[in-house]
A and B are shown apart, each in its own frame.
Chain A
Amino acid sequence: MEAVKSSSYEVLDLKPENIFTFPEGIPGFEKVKRFVILTHPQETPFARLTALDYDLCFFVVIPWVICPDYKPDIDEEDLKKIDSPSNEEILILSIVNIPYDPKESTMNLVAPLIINTKKGLGRQVIINNFKEYTPKFKLWQEE
């Protein structure tokens, strides 16, 4: 059985149903196709979308945790590509960019990840209403 290890995580036994395949990878990482989502209580509400075949992970978050009025318009063609004609069964995540100074962290509201958890298929999409959002939405607003 395959196992994946990450600094703050226990070794996780990998069951096929926990592996999400991104057939096209994601822009910039086209070769990286297999991921698992790892969570750790100390990193809540963030999770790690962790590559199985590369030393790579992305912090991700359910966008509504940070931005409750987020209304992504996801194209039907994109939903079809993850075998999910209705968007009821999909998990939507935003990739978080945490730079050296974590207060400058941002999340990408223009290009969320959509994952059909039942079929194990994922894809990064550009939302139809991309003009209303930014790919660098600041997690911590200035006071």
Chain B
Amino acid sequence: MLVLTRRLDESIIIGDNIEIKVLEVSGEQVRLGIIAPKDVSIYRKELYEKIKEVNIASGKTKEERLVLPLKFKERR
């Protein structure tokens, strides 16, 4: 991993079109500003990993049947 030290209002550039700027530092929190092309998706990593995990758990084969619990059917 490349490690760089940056101060408030300083940036790093990744490639020629992604910029990440330190906007605010307070205690354990760092606010970052990111400028990137529209086709680059940006996520908070732990959130992205969680969504990935839930998606993988949710995927079914096309043959799987859906059995609904009775309670739900009764409610409607």
What residues of chain A lie closer than 8 Å to B54, measured between beta carbons?
Answer: 95, 97, 108, 111, 135-136
What residues of chain A lie closer than 8 Å to B56, measured between beta carbons?
Answer: 28-29
Does B58 have its Cβ within 8 Å of any Cβ on chain A? yes
Does B6 have its Cβ within 8 Å of any Cβ on chain A? no
Query: Contacts A97-B54, A136-B54; is A43 near B66 (CB within 8 Å)?
Result: yes
Q: Let me know if A7 and B55 touch, CB within 8 A.
A: no
The smallest beta-carbon distance between A61 and chain B, in angstroms, is 11
**Interface contact tally, CB-CB below 8 A:** 97
Give A23's nearest chain B residue, CB to CB.
B39
Does A64 have its Cβ within 8 Å of any Cβ on chain B? no
State which residues 32-50 of B face A: CB under 8 Å.
38, 41, 43-44, 47-48, 50
Does A68 have its Cβ within 8 Å of any Cβ on chain B? no
Does A50 have its Cβ within 8 Å of any Cβ on chain B? yes
Give A38's nearest chain B residue, CB to CB.
B62
Count of A interface residues, CB-CB < 8 Å: 42
Q: List 29 A-B contacts (CB under 8 A).
A: A4-B62, A6-B62, A6-B63, A7-B62, A7-B63, A7-B65, A8-B66, A27-B52, A27-B55, A28-B55, A28-B59, A29-B59, A48-B62, A55-B62, A58-B58, A58-B60, A80-B38, A97-B54, A97-B57, A97-B58, A98-B60, A98-B66, A102-B68, A108-B55, A110-B50, A111-B51, A135-B54, A139-B72, A140-B71
**B interface residue numbers (CB < 8 A to A):** 38, 41, 43-44, 47-48, 50-69, 71-72, 76
**A interface residue numbers (CB < 8 A to B):** 4-8, 24, 26-29, 42-43, 45-46, 48, 50, 55-59, 77, 80-81, 95-99, 102-103, 105, 108, 110-111, 124, 126, 130, 135-136, 139-140
